[in-house]
Structure 1
Amino acid sequence: MLPLRDTEEIETFPFVTVFLIIVNSIIFVYMYFTALEMPNPDTYFASIYLKYGLVPKKIITAPFFSSEYLTFITSIFLHGSWSHLIFNMLFLWIFGNNVEDYLGHLHFLLFYLLSGIFASLIQLSTMGVSSVPVIGASGAIAGTMGAYFLLFPRSRIRTLVFIFFFITIIEVPAPVYLLIWFLSQLFEGLTNFGVATGVAFFAHVGGFLFGLFYALLIGKHAGRKRRYLYYV
């Protein structure tokens, strides 16, 4: 099920969400076209991911206050392919603009980064001393989705559905869509535990839970009080 848009209206322009989409896109486009000029593009990409991605083995052995810890942030702005970038930015736009509208611009930026850091910590806890870099914004975006789940229970997601050769668009209640997504990530993470799948499922799970509990703890006391929350 591919989400296209949600039915929740926003009242303020999502400056931070747009900024994040632009920054992520510029970084990947720059890397992509720079790689095309290299004798071995794959080697170039690998060097970038190893330097700015989050490498468990480096984090475990890094001294306190080491610059290596900055990769908790830089890794959030790296992507491995066009599809990785496009789908992440689609999800960020659909769910991010509403959460930003609720929390406020600077608050949302802080929340987004914290979601990404927490998601990375959860993923690292499952990887031991692996030398495989963790990259991508999906952990931070999963946090945004977790917050959305709690903050916008009445929203609906217009979703593109593929059933064999039949394609249609349906509206799915946002909590249902997000719960299905979360459970699918948890299932994939548990069934592929210890297997190199190329997808950081536990980062998705950790990010979503962080966003959910973040909204539960402070969402009621931040942003627009007109919103309807589960616990109101």
Structure 2
Amino acid sequence: MFLPLHDANRIRHISFPYVNYGLIGVTILCFLVQSVLPQAAFDQATIDFGMIPIVVRNVYPQPVPWLPDWGTLFTYAFLHADWLHLLSNMLFLWVFGDNIEDAMGHLKYLVFYLACAVCAALAHLVFNMADNGPLIGASGAVAGVMGAYILLYPHARVFVLARLVVLIPLPVPAFWMLGFWVATQLFYVVIGSDEPVAWWAHLGGFAAGLILAAGFRRHEVALLGGR
């Protein structure tokens, strides 16, 4: 129903968000490698490096002998099913990630992003204990970035492309845009959905970002935008 285009929230503490851009670059590179594989190899890569609950729980052996069972709690976040899956996640990360890196610093932001990826995967695992299908995609980690953003910059204006009668760009406070996103995830969790979307991973990542951001932020970065 909407896509973020950019935000009116300049960075103040760093000169360049190279970790955020690096994460975007590495994720795109991983998909480019995936995309040149034959379909059978593409599917095998998602099995080998996606997060499969019964593998992480050691019910079924890890397909890649050298990769620990818990290793896919990280690797799954760098795989995507198709270009739309990839680009939608990277768009949200590009819009919101630079400010969170600015608020935390480079190294803390990297740790934060990976921690949110792990928490999102664990949330998915808890509600899908017997699942034998692979979880892939950066959306859980990106949801963590969004959770941090709503805690630190709820009043920042985000320009979104919204579908009313026609597609039009609208400036809205981050709280409303991201709050609507969370409400959508909760709605589909409650009513159920046949779509192949990891709703619990989204909510788990968002909750992790919301909680971790308070401790990872710089002391001079106020909660709730200082209001």
TM-score by length of 2: 0.90
- Once the two structures are TM-superposed, the CA of residue 129 in structure 1 deviates from its matched residue by 1.2
Q: Which moved more, 1:95-104 or 1:123-132?
A: 123-132
* Conserved 8 A contact 2:150-2:224: no
Unaligned runs of 5+ in 2: 62-66
- Once the two structures are TM-superposed, the CA of residue 201 in structure 1 deviates from its matched residue by 0.7
| Partner in structure 1 of residue 180 of structure 2 | 180
Aligned partner (choices 29, 32, 54) of residue 32 of structure 2:
29
Give SS of 1:10's match.
Answer: coil
**Aligned pair count?**
218
* Conserved 8 A contact 2:120-2:202: yes
Structure 1 distance, partners of 2:206, 2:114, is 13
| Partner in structure 2 of residue 103 of structure 1 | 104
- Once the two structures are TM-superposed, the CA of residue 224 in structure 1 deviates from its matched residue by 5.6
* Conserved 8 A contact 1:157-1:172: yes
* Conserved 8 A contact 2:51-2:135: yes
Runs of 4+ that moved beyond 6 A: none
Report the identity percentage.
Answer: 38
| Partner in structure 2 of residue 140 of structure 1 | 141
- Once the two structures are TM-superposed, the CA of residue 179 in structure 1 deviates from its matched residue by 0.6
Give SS of 1:130's match.
Answer: coil
Q: How do 1:46-57 and structure 2 match up within 5 A?
A: 46-57=43-54
One-letter amino acid matched to 1:184: T
Structure 1 distance, partners of 2:137, 2:43, is 14
* Conserved 8 A contact 1:182-1:205: yes
- Once the two structures are TM-superposed, the CA of residue 30 in structure 1 deviates from its matched residue by 1.3
* Conserved 8 A contact 1:52-1:71: yes
* Conserved 8 A contact 1:10-1:97: yes
| Partner in structure 1 of residue 64 of structure 2 | none
| Partner in structure 2 of residue 126 of structure 1 | 127
| Partner in structure 2 of residue 197 of structure 1 | 195
Give SS of 2:57's match.
Answer: helix
One-letter amino acid matched to 2:6: R
* Conserved 8 A contact 1:92-1:141: yes
One-letter amino acid matched to 2:23: L
Q: Deviations over 1:151-195 (max 9, x none)?
A: 01220110111124x121110100111111011011112221xx6
| Partner in structure 1 of residue 220 of structure 2 | 225
Q: How do 1:143-182 and structure 2 match up within 5 A?
A: 143-164=144-165, 166-182=166-182
Give SS of 1:61's match.
Answer: coil
* Conserved 8 A contact 2:185-2:203: yes
Structure 2 distance, partners of 1:154, 1:189, is 27
One-letter amino acid matched to 2:183: L
| Partner in structure 2 of residue 83 of structure 1 | 84
| Partner in structure 1 of residue 55 of structure 2 | 58
Unaligned runs of 5+ in 1: none
TM-score by length of 1: 0.89
**CA RMSD, aligned part only?**
1.8
One-letter amino acid matched to 2:189: G
